[in-house]
Amino acid sequence: MADAQGKWLLRENPARPDELAGRIRRDSPADVLAAASAAAAAQREWAALDFETRADTLRMAFGAVEGMDALARTMASEMGKPVGECAGEIRFALAFAADMEGRARRLLADDVRGEGPGRRVVRRAPYGVIAAIVPWNAPIILAMTKIAPALLSGNAVLVKPSPFAPLTLSAIVAMIAAHLPPGLLRAVNGGAETGEALIGAPEVAKVAFTGGGTVGRAVLEQASRRFIPSVMELGGNDPLIVLEDFEPTTARMEALVWASFLNAGQVCMAAKRLYVHEAVADRFVDAYVETARRLLHMGDPLDPRTNIGPVISAQAQGRISRVAAQARCDGGMVVPLLNDFSDYPEQGYFVAPQLVTGLTDDAELVRDEQFGPIVPVVTWRDEADVHRWAATGDCLSASVWSSDAERAWDLAASLPAGLCLVNAHNRSGFSFDLPFGGSGPSGFGREYGDEGLLEYSMPKALHQPATGSVASAYPGKS
Ligand code: NAD
């Protein structure tokens, strides 16, 4: 939403849409171009510093993020995530930045190749100015996975927050940027036109994008016209497979419920379709419903008891409700998961959490990413079927749940996802050490791990041949 003159982005509170969570100045295309040119000037000096000076400066800058309670409250008000989860996300993002520093120290040093006369070195060179375009569902960590490795590698970064969650991210970026050379890190705010202006800025040398596939395609097309490389973290319709020997322990059932319902299901790597072997399906559904009704407390995100808030917008609420209605038409049986003590503002964009049983693999709710708190269970008998189903569709991650860890490991490893998990999914399966990213329509490039650091520099080869080598001869041994 914008004000009448279009100067400000206005963000309503999705739990109480008649309240404004805040407003932020919209950057015009001219502002974006000026920011890119200032970023390029700052980057040249930043890249010339030695690594330890950059690392010391960044440690101090990330350490300047303060006022956690106020930041978490702003974030809960602008995007509906429970306030404790918001504080957790900010702390996780800062821990991620610290983890990247160690990787950068180890991976960015010159790599001297080979023995003998002459000099051969591979040096990691920054790209220049990075455009970091992020969605609203985890705005701080999805920006930090780009900001920290890019700055450590010697780049400048312009961050484009989502207009659905611009407030907290812009505030955190400003706190960090205040301790860095002017212009090196900045948020530019607005919608699609701001993102387009950013990718079009001549100084932008790489795009790191997280968001949906439709926008991802537009971003990729624009970047490709300028030959700029990109990291694409797109959507997923991630399968979770339960084998016939699965034991529904309390810990596992709780992990399973959070695998799908964290952030009201609005997580890229949430378990979005559950494939349960028919031999355990009844026990599984009973245990799932009991666990979810015990755990889930839907309410105002600012209430510390709330662990499931509203969805992001009226449009998302309408879309998910339509998907639920279609699931009923497709023969699904809706099992409500809301417990008796939930209490939420009626006018907010709330969608009650639901499990839908009785669907087949071709139902819309199973086929497409729902990005909300409604989750299908499909039963299966033949492992070949479930393997084929799970392999169809976009998978960022996939998981297999079983008491036989070896069998589950082999099945998980054979699935076409970027992150394959055993007896874990979503947050319970996450590790700083492992690269995260998609395959096929869920994207390419990686975040986290060594691979996530190396996205922000390119290998540059330096070679001084040994004196006396014969320039006309082919190099290498005959
Ligand atoms: P979105 O694709 O609508 O928007 C993402 C960002 O792109 C926003 O900042 C938006 O303003 C900007 N944008 C829109 N049009 C643009 C254009 N033409 N050029 C440049 N920028 C443009 O996504 P969303 O609704 O904010 O997020 C939800 C989607 O993101 C889901 O599909 C989810 O699965 C996906 N997601 C993926 C990951 C991952 O790591 N792979 C993580 C979180 C979310």
In terms of CATH architecture, what is 239-429? 3-Layer(aba) Sandwich (3.40)
Q: What angle do CA 166, 229, 132 make, to 5 degrees?
A: 10
* Neighbouring residues of 442: CB distance < 8 A, sequence distance ≥ 6: 213, 234, 235, 236, 394, 395, 396, 418
Looking at residue 339, its pLDDT comes to 81
How far apart CA 87 and CA 85 sit, in angstroms, is 5
C-alpha dihedral sign at 203, 209, 211, 217: positive
User: Which residues, listed in sequence order, are joined to residue 298 by a DSSP beta bridge?
Assistant: 308
**What is each CA distance from 244 to 122, 251, 265, 407, 446, in whole angstroms?**
51, 18, 26, 12, 33
Q: How far, in Å, is the centroid of ligand 1 from the Cα of 135?
A: 4
230 lines ligand 1 (CB under 6 A): no
Q: Which atom from ligand 1 is nearest to the alpha carbon of 138?
A: 43
**Which of 146, 170, 268, 371 to mutate to test ligand 1, by most ligand atoms within 8 A of the CB atom?**
268
Q: Single out the residue of 241, 354, 364 nearest to residue 308, CA to CA.
A: 354
How far apart CA 368 and CA 370 sit, in angstroms, is 6
What is the rounded average pLDDT for all residues in the chain? 95
How far apart CA 81 and CA 266 sit, in angstroms, is 10
* pTM higher than the cut 0.85: yes
**Among residues 101, 203, 233, 447, which one is catalytic?**
233
Whether domain 8-234+438-463 has CATH 1.10.10.10: the reply is: no
For the stretch 420-431, pLDDT in tens is: 999 999 989 889
Q: Find the helix or strand (DSSP H, E) in which 391 lies.
A: helix 383-391
Choose the weakest-confidence range: 109-113, 453-457, 473-477: 473-477
**Six-digit token string for 85:** 């989860």
* Neighbouring residues of 48: CB distance < 8 A, sequence distance ≥ 6: none
137 lines ligand 1 (CB under 6 A): yes
Active-site residue 233, yes or no?
A: yes
Q: How far, in Å, is the centroid of ligand 1 from the Cα of 255?
A: 27
For the stretch 354-380, pLDDT in tens is: 999 999 999 999 999 999 999 999 999
For the stretch 196-239, pLDDT in tens is: 999 999 999 999 999 999 999 999 999 999 999 999 999 899 99
pLDDT at 478 over 50: no
**Six-digit token string for 332:** 């699904």
How far apart CA 76 and CA 299 sit, in angstroms, is 12
Looking at residue 474, its pLDDT comes to 66
Q: Which atom from ligand 1 is nearest to the alpha carbon of 442?
A: 41
pLDDT at 477 over 60: no
How far apart CA 140 and CA 284 sit, in angstroms, is 35
What residue spans in the chain does CATH classification 3.40.309.10 cover?
239-429
**Which of 189, 215, 323 to mutate to test ligand 1, by most ligand atoms within 8 A of the CB atom?**
215
What residue spans in the chain does CATH classification 3.40.605.10 cover?
8-234+438-463
Asked if residue 437 lies in contact with residue 413, where contact means CB atoms within 8 angstroms, the answer is: no
Q: How far, in Å, is the centroid of ligand 1 from the Cα of 461?
A: 35
How far apart CA 422 and CA 413 sit, in angstroms, is 9
